DNA sequence: GTGTGGTGATAAATCGATTGATCAGGGAGA
DNA sequence: TCTCCCTGATCAATCGATTTATCACCACAC
């Protein structure tokens, strides 16, 4: 059983293929109503849908969009990014072609070439952790960077607004009355872009609250794991009582989970003795901790959507020089923040 | 800057487009070595790569494969499945077109039609939880089902071998000397396919070990969450000492995490007092529990690969009537299983 | 009666490759 | 010398749509 072609519709309706094409594409300026009707009925009767390949060859538009990413497997966020891109693509009548390069530059080059050969209408270049990247060779003009931005600012890009997210997170702690607030960061070498930005936000909020940060409050884990977070948090809890933080802002939720372990291990309570805020709103972590973690969500789904819509021309990138949109990161309030313990609050007030 | 066409190569090499095509596709039976060389050099010099759309129209093969799935976002396993499919597709020179239907049948129909219109060479129909599904309309012959199988057995399919995985899990407990082994299951209505299969495996191992299962050992959680797992596990720990299980096989890792909480809440130890085995090997759960959880891995990456290879004809489906391959689920040994506590072991021996 | 203009539809070119049919030229055999 | 065959390459059809240019027909005005 072979595919139904436009000539089959033409034969069934007793007209030429030109007429069928004009009718079905609504270029009906010079086709009579009666003929239109007949063509539509014939098309429905034989179950005709146009062959996208043939159409693409003629029109030079394939209604596909290519998405190149470094790793789709190893992060739980990738799915949301893909889902956003995919939903937006579908809403605009496009299909999403996905290539996962495994961060291998040779594979990446090959992938870009293959997608260009397939005449994708637009391209998205995505990484799974916010970073600044060199622009690969061969990308079409209609390329948007997703969760990364090109060093040379040649293409539109969307990344999380880490600073605004960090501000919201730390203000949440200041707003609850904390004054001794620590930041569990991620160590050198090659800290993620987000590390510097979130730290910057941390310092900014302390400054606006008139708090002089104790350098001992800025600790580092080796990796972004719970185990590393625990080790780093323990260094905070080892501080003498009057310097020990009553609140901890953690680089991410996994490290926050480690901080929980450290706190509980001392027989202390979250949030009664130590309030904790994370970052990422990572499923299966933030929500399942006890108590559930207050954190800042990374808007992966929305970023995926934004990138796709800009790539398809359905939305304008920001008119700034770097064409980079910083997507807001909403704070997710759960139960890991409360006011500081009375003794600490007193000691703070004494110091103030 | 317009694309380089085959005619540009032909002009550069001073030959016809036919000759260029024959040379570049290695149909060189009647082309002299010297001409071949000249064409290859010209093609490289002008940077020619064939337009896949035009080629696809002529050859009726697009070197694309469509993957339709219900939800790619909400499960952490989806990424591994996609990665397996994507890697296999790339190795066979194919691109992967992804459509996420959100489990909406109308969207699904639309997606299948769009992929067929784009002349995909093969299709994969995937779900994110092992299930038996009705075969949707309009799927091409070269369709493979992934993590689900068609009720009518008309297409090849790959699913996890839940029974073999369950056997391995429970044998791990029997092998450690346990005799009072419980199964934390998931409740009606509509339990997943895996539930029945894993329970079947549980009963089978107990039977082969000569253990008569106490019906009280089979408990159910409302959902597959940690909270439900905890509630179900508490019912086990409430049993009188001589009936209380020394080991628990949990339907999945999240419920196992709940079982940990229940055990710890009684001041008991994992695995000292209660050994626990999960299922899924879910990242960020199994490995991060304290102690790390012994569990059974779902081979999502391998299933994604298998489905793609079969769809592309690079591998044969099983010759069984249902054409369904049950992929082995390897056991992942961590630290949540030990021999039962001495008192329990003694009591067991007395009973034996 | 002949041009003129408008209407409704079609013929044919086109997108860029692949491929079966064809052709030019040279050497071998009759 | 003429035919036949082989080699090396090209011609032209083809895939299935879209779109521009063209055509047939009729009504109307002059």
Q: Name the percent of chain B lying above pLDDT 70.
A: 96
Question: What whole-number distance in Å separates Cα of residue B250 and Cα of residue B169?
Answer: 10
Strands B143-150 and A275-277: unpaired
B13 touches strand D (CB under 7 A): no
Question: What whole-number distance in Å separates Cα of residue A185 and Cα of residue A229?
Answer: 9
Tell me if A284 and B288 make a contact (CB, 8 A cut-off): no
Tell me if A98 and B99 make a contact (CB, 8 A cut-off): no
CB atoms within 10 A of CB B294: 25
| Average pLDDT, integer, range B69-76 | 80
Average pLDDT taken over every residue of chain A: 93
Longest dimension (CA), chain B: 94
As a rounded value in angstroms, the CA-to-C1' distance for B166 and C29 is: 80
Q: What is the pLDDT of residue A351?
A: 39
Question: What whole-number distance in Å separates Cα of residue A136 and Cα of residue A114?
Answer: 14
Give the residue, B73 or B167, on which the prediction is more confident.
Answer: B167
Closest CA to A265 of A320, A303, A226, A299: A226
Q: What is the pLDDT of residue B290?
A: 86
Sign of the C-alpha dihedral, residues A110, A115, A119, A124?
A: negative
Q: The tokens of A227 are what?
A: 């185990």
Q: Which of A49, A117, A301 sits opposite B51 (nearest CB)?
A: A117
Q: What is the pLDDT of residue B350?
A: 37
Give the minimum alpha-carbon distance from A201 to chain B in angstroms, rounded to a whole number. 27
Tell me if A75 and B73 make a contact (CB, 8 A cut-off): no
Question: What whole-number distance in Å separates Cα of residue B323 and Cα of residue A34?
Answer: 51
Q: How far is CA B350 from CA A193, B10, B335, in A?
A: 63, 89, 28
Give the minimum alpha-carbon distance from B27 to chain A in angstroms, rounded to a whole number. 21
B27 touches strand C (CB under 7 A): yes
- Cite the DSSP H helix spans in chain A: 6-13, 17-24, 33-46, 52-59, 78-91, 105-117, 162-175, 193-208, 226-237, 253-265, 300-311, 342-351
B58 touches strand C (CB under 7 A): yes
| Average pLDDT, integer, range B316-345 | 92
Q: What is the pLDDT of residue B349?
A: 39
| Average pLDDT, integer, range B11-24 | 95
Give the residue, B202 or A2, on which the prediction is more confident.
Answer: B202
Q: Which residue carries 């895996």 as its tokens?
A: B194
Q: The tokens of A347 are what?
A: 């000691």
As a rounded value in angstroms, the CA-to-C1' distance for A157 and C15 is: 33
As a rounded value in angstroms, the CA-to-C1' distance for B236 and D3 is: 99
Tell me if B98 and A75 make a contact (CB, 8 A cut-off): no
Residue pair A201/A161 in contact by the 8 Å Cβ criterion: no
pLDDT digit string (tens) for A4-52? 999 999 999 999 999 999 999 998 778 999 999 999 999 999 999 999 9
pLDDT tops 90 at residue A345: no
Burial of B107 (0-12, 13-18, 19+ CB in 10 A): middle
Closest-CA residue of A relative to B5 is A117
pLDDT digit string (tens) for A225-236? 999 999 999 999
As a rounded value in angstroms, the CA-to-C1' distance for B19 and D6 is: 19
Give the minimum alpha-carbon distance from B71 to chain A in angstroms, rounded to a whole number. 8
In terms of C-beta distances under 8 Å and separation of at least 24 residues, what long-range contacts does A240-244 make, across chains too? A241/A347, A242/A347, A243/A180, A243/A214, A243/A216, A244/A180
pLDDT digit string (tens) for B144-164? 999 999 999 999 999 999 999
C1'-nearest nucleotide to the CA of B8:
C16
Residue pair B208/B202 in contact by the 8 Å Cβ criterion: no
Q: What is the pLDDT of residue B73?
A: 66
Between CA B78 and CA A99, with CA A88 as vertex, the angle to 5 degrees is: 50
Q: What is the pLDDT of residue A344?
A: 58
pLDDT digit string (tens) for A120-165? 999 999 998 899 999 999 999 999 999 999 999 999 999 999 999 9
| Average pLDDT, integer, range B238-252 | 97
**Chain D nucleotides with an atom closer than 7 Å to a protein C-beta:** 7-12, 14-21
Question: What whole-number distance in Å separates Cα of residue B100 and Cα of residue A82?
Answer: 9
Q: What is the pLDDT of residue A350?
A: 38
Closest CA to B64 of B122, B144, B126: B122
Tell me if A257 and B288 make a contact (CB, 8 A cut-off): yes
Question: What whole-number distance in Å separates Cα of residue B115 and Cα of residue B97?
Answer: 8
Q: A219 by DSSP, 3-state: which? A: strand
| Average pLDDT, integer, range A187-210 | 94
Q: Using DSSP, how many helices (H) and how many strands (E) does chain A show?
A: 12, 12
pLDDT tops 70 at residue B216: yes
Integer-rounded Cα radius of gyration of chain A: 27
Put simply, whether the predicted model's pTM sits higher than 0.95 gets the answer no
Q: What is the pLDDT of residue B348?
A: 43
Closest CA to A100 of A76, A72, A131, A81: A72
Give the residue, B190 or A147, on which the prediction is more confident.
Answer: A147
C1'-nearest nucleotide to the CA of B16:
D10
Question: Please, where in chain B does CATH 3.40.50.2300 lie?
Answer: 64-155+301-327, 163-294+333-351
**CATH class of the domain defined by B163-294+333-351:** alpha beta
Q: What is the pLDDT of residue A1?
A: 58
Residue B271: asked if its preceding bond is cis (omega within 30°), the reply is yes
Contacts of A86 in chain B (CB under 8 A): 72, 98-100
The DSSP letter of residue B321 is T
Q: How far is CA B240 from CA A225, B192, B257, B351, in A?
A: 40, 31, 23, 15
Residue pair B65/B17 in contact by the 8 Å Cβ criterion: no
Main-chain phi, psi angles of A188, to 5 degrees: -65, 170
As a rounded value in angstroms, the CA-to-C1' distance for A160 and C7 is: 58
pLDDT tops 60 at residue A222: yes
The CATH number for B64-155+301-327, chosen from 1.10.3720.10, 3.80.10.10, 3.40.50.2300, 3.30.1330.40, is 3.40.50.2300
Question: What whole-number distance in Å separates Cα of residue B341 and Cα of residue B352?
Answer: 16
Give the minimum alpha-carbon distance from B240 to chain A in angstroms, rounded to a whole number. 29
Give the residue, A322 or B351, on which the prediction is more confident.
Answer: A322
């Amino acid at each position: 059983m072979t595919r139904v072609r436009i000539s089959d519709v033409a034969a069934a309706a007793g007209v030429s293929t030109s007429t069928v094409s004009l009718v079905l594409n609504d270029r009906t300026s010079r086709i009579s109503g009666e003929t239109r009707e007949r063509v539509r009925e014939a098309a429905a009767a034989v179950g005709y849908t146009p062959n996208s390949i043939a159409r693409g060859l003629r029109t030079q538009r394939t209604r596909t969009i290519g998405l190149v990413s470094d790793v789709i497997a190893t992060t739980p966020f990738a799915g949301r990014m893909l889902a956003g891109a995919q939903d937006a693509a579908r809403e605009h009548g496009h299909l999403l072609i996905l290539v996962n390069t495994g961060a291998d530059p040779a594979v990446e080059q090959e992938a870009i070439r293959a997608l260009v050969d397939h005449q994708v209408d637009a391209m998205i270049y995505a990484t799974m952790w916010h970073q600044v990247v060199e622009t690969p060779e061969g990308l079409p003009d209609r390329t948007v960077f997703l969760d990364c931005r090109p060093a040379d600012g040649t293409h539109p890009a969307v990344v999380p607004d880490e600073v605004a997210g960090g501000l919201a997170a730390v203000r949440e702690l200041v707003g609850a009355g904390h004054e001794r607030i620590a930041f569990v960061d991620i160590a050198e070498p090659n800290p993620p872009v987000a590390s510097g930005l979130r730290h910057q936000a941390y310092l900014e909020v302390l400054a606006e609250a008139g708090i002089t940060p104790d350098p001992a409050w800025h600790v580092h884990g080796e990796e972004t794991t719970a185990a590393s977070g625990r080790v780093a948090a323990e260094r905070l809890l080892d501080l003498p009582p009057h310097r020990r933080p009553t609140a901890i802002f953690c680089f991410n939720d996994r490290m926050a989970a480690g901080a929980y372990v450290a706190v509980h291990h001392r027989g202390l309570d979250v949030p009664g003795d130590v309030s904790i805020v994370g970052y990422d709103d990572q499923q299966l972590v933030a929500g399942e901790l006890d108590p559930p973690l207050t954190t800042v969500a990374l808007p992966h789904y929305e970023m995926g959507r934004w990138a796709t819509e800009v790539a398809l021309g359905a939305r304008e990138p920001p008119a700034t020089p770097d064409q980079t949109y910083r997507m807001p990161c909403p704070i997710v309030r759960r139960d890991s923040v409360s006011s500081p313990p009375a003794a600490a609050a007193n000691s703070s007030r004494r110091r103030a």
